[in-house]
Amino acid sequence: MTATTNRQVLLVEKPTGKLGPEHFKMSESAIPEPKDGEALLRVRYISLDAANRAWMHGATYRAAVETNTVMAGGGIAEVISSKAPGLVAGDIVFGDTGWQNFAAVPAKQLSKMPKLEPMTHLLSVYGIAGLTAYFGLLDVGKPKAGETVVVSAAAGSVGSIVGQIAKIKGCRVVGIAGGKDKCHWLTSELGFDAAVDYKDGNLFKALKAAAPDGIDVYFDNVGGEILEACLAQMNLRGRIGCCGAISQYDGAPQATGPRGVPGLIVVKRLIMQGFIVMDYMNQRDAALAELQSWVAAGQLKVQEDVIDGLENTPAALIGLLAGENRGKRMIRV
């Protein structure tokens, strides 16, 4: 490796409306020197997540991203050199590397990852996406065999795994996605029982047809109108796992919430529960073992959408927010 400069993508302006390429610019700097307790990383894959956009609105479960700094984002990286105990050159780690080729990151902010192939699986099924699906569905949604599970953004990195785990658990699974192709893929390739194209007109009616016995578990990645439609079709004592609100991220925050809150929550004794995968990290090993066994058995298909080139990271995120991707989108740096 002979690189001497660090290519970086800076966030130069926070969007007030839709995110566009003008909010970013490429930049170069010297490769950083790790301080005591830090490791110097070469970034291999950058994760693209709807949450990247949410961080631009302000502090969430992390501080807001700031302008004129390297855009924040999770990545899989290789340790080049280390001034931290427990990390040595050649180790593979996950952490907030930012959108750049090299990063010096405190070791305590990094998770050491197993060396497995393909490495991309560390960002998809064995990464945040897979673990979010696993814990959100099983711990929050608590589906029982025979129940109906609905998941939105069903063709995305999390949703596609949620639906497949729900099938493994013996549920009837309905995916909500944008466009005929994605919907066809969900039922023909991933084994979903039905799929609803939210771009195709009457969502409420289509959902009713796809989930004729009502909804027992709704895994919500999107919020907004889709949450509202699902709320109205929840069964008694249904569970709504609140994972994200993609529909609300790319633009100004919405001034209202879904109709039916709290009226339907009371009458139907619903539970709506928010969760963040980081809260489950002490149970990660057991979850990974189970996910690996499902992948090995062919019960869980892994879909990845890998785009080459750091310079394409902004366009890849913009496209993800528009629903371009199928499965886990990432940048090969």
Interface with a second copy (CB under 8 A), residue from 95, 98, 175, 223 = 223
Interface with a second copy (CB under 8 A), residue from 1, 30, 145, 255 = 255
- Assess contact for 215 and 238: CB atoms under 8 A: yes
Q: CA quadruple 248, 250, 255, 259: dihedral positive or negative?
A: negative
Q: How far is the CB of 254 from a second copy (least distance, A)?
A: 7
Q: How far is the CB of 292 from a second copy (least distance, A)?
A: 27
Beta strands (DSSP E) in 111-222 are 111-112, 148-152, 172-177, 194-197, 215-220
CA 99-53-112 angle, 5° bins = 45
- Assess contact for 98 and 51: CB atoms under 8 A: no
Q: How far is the CB of 72 from a second copy (least distance, A)?
A: 16
**Which two structure tokens, joined as six digits, stand for 209?**
């047809």
d(CA 102, CA 5): 9
Q: Does 250 bind a second copy (CB under 8 A)?
A: no
Q: Does 159 bind a second copy (CB under 8 A)?
A: no
Strands 148-152 and 215-220 come out as parallel
Beta-carbon neighbour count of residue 311 at 10 Å? 13
- Assess contact for 153 and 162: CB atoms under 8 A: no
Q: Does 64 bind a second copy (CB under 8 A)?
A: no
Cβ nearer to a second copy, comparing 103 with 161:
161
The radius of gyration computed from the CA coordinates of the chain, to the nearest angstrom, equals: 20
Q: Does 204 bind a second copy (CB under 8 A)?
A: no
**Which two structure tokens, joined as six digits, stand for 221?**
């990645």
Q: Does 259 bind a second copy (CB under 8 A)?
A: yes
Spell out, one character per residue from 23 to 62, where the chain touches a second copy: x when CB under 8 A holds, - when not.
-------------------------------------xx-
Q: Which residue has the tokens 């931290």?
A: 84
Q: How far is the CB of 325 from a second copy (least distance, A)?
A: 21
Interface with a second copy (CB under 8 A), residue from 197, 220, 304, 305 = 220
Q: Does 261 bind a second copy (CB under 8 A)?
A: yes
Interface with a second copy (CB under 8 A), residue from 275, 288, 306, 307 = 275
**Which two structure tokens, joined as six digits, stand for 284?**
């990660």
Interface with a second copy (CB under 8 A), residue from 273, 284, 290, 315 = 273
Q: Does 232 bind a second copy (CB under 8 A)?
A: no
Q: Does 244 bind a second copy (CB under 8 A)?
A: yes
Which residues make up the interface to a second copy (CB under 8 A)? 60-61, 220, 223, 227-228, 240, 242-245, 248, 253-276, 279
